[in-house]
Chain A
Amino acid sequence: MAERRTIRNDLLARVEGEGALLVQIAGGQVADVKLKIYEPPRFFEAFLRGRAFTEAPDITARICGICPVAYQMSSVQAMEQICGVQVDGQLRALRRLLYCGEWIESHALHVFMLHLPDFLGHESAIELATHDRELVSRALELKKVGNELMTVVGGREIHPVNVRVGGFYRAPRKRELTALVDRLERAREVALEAVEITAGLDFPDYEHDYELVCLAEPDEYPIDRGRIVSNRGLDIAVAEYDEHFVEEHVEWSNALHSRVVGRGSYLCGPLARFSLSADRLSPMAREAASEAGLEAEERNPFRSIVVRSVELVYAADEALRLIADYEEPDAPAVPVEPRAGVGYGCTEAPRGILYHRYQLDADGTILDAKIVPPTSQNQKAIEEDLRGVVERSLDVPDDELTLLCEQTIRNYDPCISCATHFLKLEIARS
């Protein structure tokens, strides 16, 4: 087949932010694949300079309306490291609880509203709702529980205002949290149904041998802290991130591409977390994963929708555990005094690891900031998947191939606004 084909989509739908895709096929082979992130760069790192260390959680939260908690958690972790402060006990538990709210909100949105329509052949969640009103109603119910958790712990459902370096401005009362128990139990049921529904979908036959990168903790599923590990033997402290990962500019993207030094692309997010920490899920989430037939090391990116559903079960389950164990702390925060130094933070945003590094002077002024969001880190893996998927589907007509490419991108739940601090689709056959 010597024809030249161009498959393109100039404005990708059902992803967060603005980007495009270009695939060029020449002589029956994939000549080029570019995920073009044209949403303008947002310069957050630059305007953090000169601000007080205490402002970082609220400023960086504004990078994303879907994962603000991730930004807050990575930034406070870095600041607390510089200031020599440990936030443990119930304050740490509250942070994990807040993060569970974000996972529920973000995963429910992606699984049902953004990703599921691809598998069921619907153009949008609205079309899905006209075919299955009950399913979409349950999805909204699930997302709402995430919103409520964010509101009770974070003070607001989007861009929470209650997080500070050292802890919180106000710790919730026990009764405010126990009031959420019934709805969280219902959310966990809906999440279990989501695992069952997604496990029964038809998945494109595609696997890739990824380097999977995520956080790891000895006794818990990674969310709010941990060492950075991979299935290729990486096992480092967060402070060593810059020695093992580099960012580079490519002309077709306003988001920097990341790679592992000496190796190349890697994948972060649900597939990585599940593959490396499935044994640390709660028994209920583990059983749901097992019944869904997930592999010990999941390499089919389309099955990320099942893994996200399992993580929804876990987030609801973990929130219930944290609430049951909650005791109101004596103070909502521990005192923090600024000091000069460099600090590092890394937490598991719903779409993967989010790395922050800050340098402060002695009075706590930010001298330098570096933020590496998960979608930047996944760009290379997304392009490799697109190449792999298109290579297996060269005889598919352009319109179907375009849809398949979009679905491949949505496997990553990309957050383009985060990545530019980052989608359009273009397939060129020539």
Chain B
Amino acid sequence: MHLVRDPLPQARDRAILKVIGIGNPWRRDDAAGLAAARRLQEILPADVDVREEAGEPTALIDALDGADAVWLVDAVSSGVEAGTVHRVDASQRALPAELFAPSTHHFGLAEAIELARALGRLPRTAVAFGIEGSTFEAGDGLSPPVDAAVGEVAERVRAEVAAWTGAP
């Protein structure tokens, strides 16, 4: 029965790479991760699985499943200048809670990552980018510094994916 429900992963000769943008499209700069995912969808090779998530932790942990490497992009609010890009190699250490644990309703990204690690479901390579936002009020449209940072993060993720796969 276990095999029927959870068949063995198909034999594959190439690694599974995922990019996950996290955010709320209706809270201005909170959408930075979603915007980065959309840009990466256009510039990354088609076999990289790019997806958008609202940040619900169980869905997020499910989204990590099966990946050999994952890049996560989320908006953060730590009090530094808007547009500042934070990068944390989550495969090496826990995400700093002051950056990635903002929600009182749910676990933040930091806890979702640690739960995935405890459950043995964190991909070998897991990198989180945090884009410092300035406005999280209701509405759409990124602030100019965050919009610029989205471009920077997209380029850095593209380069890291290329380096990971050994592509030029």
Contact = CB atoms under 8 A, between A and B. Distances in A.
B104 A17 contact: yes
Nearest to B104: A17
Interface string B80-113: 0000000000000000000000001110000100
A125 B115 contact: yes
Interface string B111-138: 1001100111000000000000000000
Contacts of B119: 129, 133, 136-137, 140
A65 B58 contact: no
Given A124-B111, A125-B115, A147-B59, 8 more contacts: A17-B105, A18-B104, A126-B111, A126-B118, A129-B115, A136-B119, A140-B58, A143-B58
Interface in A118-160: 124-127, 129-130, 133, 136-137, 140, 143-144, 147, 157-158
B148 interface: no
Contact-residue size bin, chain A (C-beta under 8 Å from the other chain): 20 to 34
Contact-residue size bin, chain B (C-beta under 8 Å from the other chain): 10 to 19
Across chains A and B, which 9 residue pairs bring their CB atoms closest together, nearest first? A129-B118, A65-B105, A130-B118, A126-B114, A126-B115, A140-B58, A126-B118, A17-B104, A144-B58
A137 B119 CA distance: 7
A16 interface: yes
A417 interface: yes
A386 interface: no
Contact residues of A: prevailing secondary structure: helix
Contact of B120 (A18, A133, A417): A133
Given A16-B104, A16-B105, A66-B105, A136 B58 contact: no
Nearest to A416: B104
26 contacts: A16-B104, A16-B105, A39-B104, A64-B105, A66-B105, A124-B111, A126-B111, A126-B114, A126-B118, A127-B118, A129-B115, A129-B118, A129-B119, A133-B120, A136-B115, A136-B119, A137-B119, A140-B58, A143-B58, A144-B58, A144-B62, A147-B56, A147-B59, A157-B56, A157-B59, A158-B54
B58 A417 contact: no
A158 B56 contact: yes
Contacts of A17: 104-105
Interface in A56-79: 64-66
A36 to B, nearest CB: 15
A269 B103 CA distance: 25
Interface string A151-176: 00000011000000000000000000
A16 B58 CA distance: 17
B146 interface: no
Contacts of B111: 124, 126
Contacts of B61: 140
A15 B111 CA distance: 15
Nearest to A64: B105
A417 B56 contact: no
A416 B58 CA distance: 22
Contacts of B118: 126-127, 129-130, 133, 136
A144 B104 CA distance: 20
Contacts of B106: 65
A150 B58 CA distance: 14
A158 B54 CA distance: 10
Interface in B39-54: 54
A133 B58 CA distance: 15
Interface in B20-77: 54, 56, 58-59, 61-62
Contacts of B120: 133
Contacts of A65: 105-106
A136 B119 CA distance: 8
Nearest to A108: B58
Nearest to A17: B104
Interface string A95-136: 000000000000000000000000000001111011001001
Contacts of A147: 56, 58-59
Interface string A254-279: 00000000000000000000000000
